[in-house]
A = this chain, B = another copy of it.
Amino acid sequence: MSVLVVGSVAFDSVKTPFGQVEEVLGGSGTYFSTSASFFTDVKMVAVVGEDFPAEHLDFLRSRKIDLEGLKTAQGRTFRWKGSYDYDLNEAHTLETHLNVFESFQPDLPQGYREAEYVFLANIDPELQLEVLNQVKNPKLVACDTMNFWIGGKREALLKTLRHVDILLINEGETRQLAEEPNLVKAARLILDMGPKTLVVKRGEYGVIMFSEHSIFSAPAYPLESVFDPTGAGDTFAGGFMGYLVATRNLSESNMRQAIVFGSAMASFVVEDFSLGRMKKLEYGEIEERFRKFKLLTEFDGLE
């Protein structure tokens, strides 16, 4: 079993109160794939420039990520520069250079077109739909987006959402997409747009998952040292989808476990810049953190 992801591979320059890094490996596709690879096989659709070093390709391959769908195009790799203040909840984008992403036309390798599980990371909703149209018979489609597309390409986004089973966005995006300040009402409006499940990412406050008959709330893991929140959302999505694909079980109880595995993955990635923590992570640590989430949240019911 494998998950197909389309997203960005990028060089990030990031400054947080705890340090800064220049042109390190980043991008939504990279974070998602790396995280999902702890649970299942990954096929990646993305584009890099000629300046992308073999070292990063080697790392992705070492995670057994299938790179047949990763195109190298003439020009420079996508670059993002951002900073965070002490609260770490909001990224301040300083620079975005799409570079090779500007003219990216995804063309899926034959072997990718049979994919059953698809994650459309945060890219232009028209590209998301183009990728989806090339997948013959997807079983489960999950999707991310952002304020930029909700505001600027609303029609295209709504069209994509009609084919999406699970939407993963943050709180502000939820309110913006639904045009409704109350989160519960907003969630209900979004569940009428296509997705059967809405996963709202709340940073250090965790995650809340809405579906027609159920709401599930999970905290973030309380950490003493958060170095860099970049990629936390995509890493969450990678753990969430990776676990769903590995278990091939979309029951409510398994979806809840997937939320916790996603939260566990996100709690690791923020402990270092870039993919630093993921490069050292072992599966046993993930299960150990899952168990700590259980201890963090459990209480006795009434008799």
Contact = CB atoms under 8 A, between A and B. Distances in A.
A133 to B, nearest CB: 35
Contact of A253 (B224, B296, B300): B300
A300 B256 contact: yes
Contacts of A204: 183
A49 interface: no
Contacts of A223: 182, 184
A181 B217 contact: no
B256 A299 contact: yes
Kindly list the 3 A-B residue pairs having the minimum CB-CB distance in the complex, ordered from nearest: A217-B219, A256-B299, A205-B205
Contacts of A59: none
Contacts of A253: 299-300
A219 B208 contact: yes
B182 A224 contact: yes
B296 A216 contact: yes
A47 to B, nearest CB: 37
A297 B86 contact: no
Contacts of A256: 298-300
Nearest to A185: B224
Nearest to A182: B224
Interface stretch (A93-101, A153-161, A273-281, A286-294): A286-294
B299 A257 contact: yes
A259 interface: yes
A225 interface: yes
Contacts of A151: none
A171 to B, nearest CB: 10
A282 B297 CA distance: 27
Contacts of A302: 287, 290-291, 294
B301 A291 contact: yes
A57 interface: no
Contacts of A218: 297, 299
A202 interface: yes
A256 B297 CA distance: 9
